[in-house]
Amino acid sequence: MSTTLYPLKFTPILKEKIWGGNKIETVLHHKISPLKNCGESWEVSGLVDDESVVSNGFLAENNLNELLEIYLTDLVGEKNYEQYGLGFPLLIKFIDAQNNLSVQVHPDDTLAQEKYGQNGKTEMWHVIQADEGAGLYVGFNQKVTEQQYVQAVEDGTLESLLKFYPVKPGDTFMIPAGTVHAIGKGVLLAEIQQPSDITFRIFDWNRVDENGKGRELHTEEALDAIHFEENVGDFLVHYTPEKNKTITLVHSPFFNTNLLDMNMQVEKSFGHLDSFVIYICLEGSAFLVSDSFKEILKTGEVALVPAEIDHLQIIPDGNARLLETYCS
């Protein structure tokens, strides 16, 4: 039996959400039954109680944290291991919003460590599918003071301060911690983020349950977390797609993400990265190939290429579109 590391695929962790739908099954081909409203599919996670479990090869049924304890730098790279230790540095999700998500904000590393002993949450979104008229809310549409914000929350008029982006497939947004945001109804997207689940809900569109009660809001916590001066601007990533080229989408201290839209074989060399690389298949299928393995990646599938793998061929089966993300 081979003991060489290879591209690892994981069993999706499906999450029932009141705002979820069925696109994770109809578009991404994950079986969501018995869930009725599947809002999230966690594809790569090391968070406690939500550890991803390997689904392929001789390491099947081991979870990500167990592999990290065994393979250490061979799995994540020396720099990542020095910085994050036995904590996996990314969380990868698909999100399907059949209805608007609440307006939220996440704390930065300083606040999250100080108050919760956890990571902050900087994230990015890449739109996979969007219904007509669908969009995302990111930041404010004008300069907003703390006083204006608090008044809008109290009045239930926060929506009037939010910047709305109509979206289409391929649109990408970088959302630093401290940025007010919400996923609008009708959007299916891939989310790449720091490994944190700290969320402060600040507005829920004035929705109430059958008893006339609204969802809990975290007004005070959010006030501490929002970076008011940095919530105005353009959060849409501007890039020019090019066939069979690696196109940079996001370069940040937390993760780097590229787009590969391809119909020809692409050669990848990772020796300079000192990091694992994650591939997210958004459309079509492709083979990940080296001398010791050949692994197919289909629409909706995600693979983690361990740091010890230096070279890789990506061979599309027709047309394929993938996200490539890593830490370094």
Residues 6+ apart with CB under 8 A from 79: 274, 275, 327, 328
User: From residue 158, how far is each of 2, 72, 161, 218 by CA, in Å?
Assistant: 57, 45, 5, 14
Please work out, in degrees rounded to the nearest 5, the angle formed at the alpha carbon of residue 192 by the alpha carbons of 261 and 34: 95
Greatest CA span in the chain, whole angstroms? 64
Q: Which of 255, 227, 321, 226 is nearest to 76 (CA)?
A: 255
The token pair that represents 170 in the structure block: 């391929």
Instruction: Write the CB contacts of 265 (distance below 8 Å, at least 6 apart in sequence).
Output: 313, 314, 315, 316
Contact yes or no for 327/55 (Cβ under 8 A): no
Q: Which residues are catalytic?
A: 201
DSSP three-state, residue 247: strand
| d(C-alpha 187, C-alpha 80), whole Å | 32
Which has the closest alpha carbon to 56: 322, 284, 305, 276? 305
DSSP string covering 20-40: EESHHHHTT----TT-SSEEE
